Amino acid sequence: MPMNRSDIRHGVLESLLAIAPEVDAQALDDTRLLRDQVDLDSMDWLNVLLGVHRRFGIDIPETDYARLATLQLIVDYVAQRAR
């Protein structure tokens, strides 16, 4: 059964908040660049993507990292690949 987009978004936000608990998830704009909204260095960003990988059991090749720039793009990516 495909995952609900709302559940995916919630899981992605949990991965983000595990790395950056100071983020106000309610204030995030799904279509704006996440790195413009949240102060994450490259290592933090890698840890967020690793959290998404673990939570949803999907591989995220390094070549795809640049495509995952907004919350909406990450949710779309996970929705296409989640088990």
How does pLDDT run across 23-61, given as a tens digit for each residue? 999 999 999 999 899 998 999 999 999 999 999 999 999
Domains contained in the chain, number:
1
> What is the domain-level CATH number for residue 18?
1.10.1200.10
Q: What is the dihedral of CA 30, 76, 42, 35, to 10 degrees?
A: -20
The 10s digit of each residue's pLDDT in 53-80 is 999 999 999 999 999 999 999 999 999 9
Residue 35: the pLDDT is 85
**The model's pTM:** 0.91
Say how far apart CA 35 and CA 58 lie, in whole Å: 22
Vertex 71 angle, CA 69 and 72, to 5°: 100
Evaluate if residue 1 carries a pLDDT over 70.
no
- Structural domain for 51, as ranges: 5-81
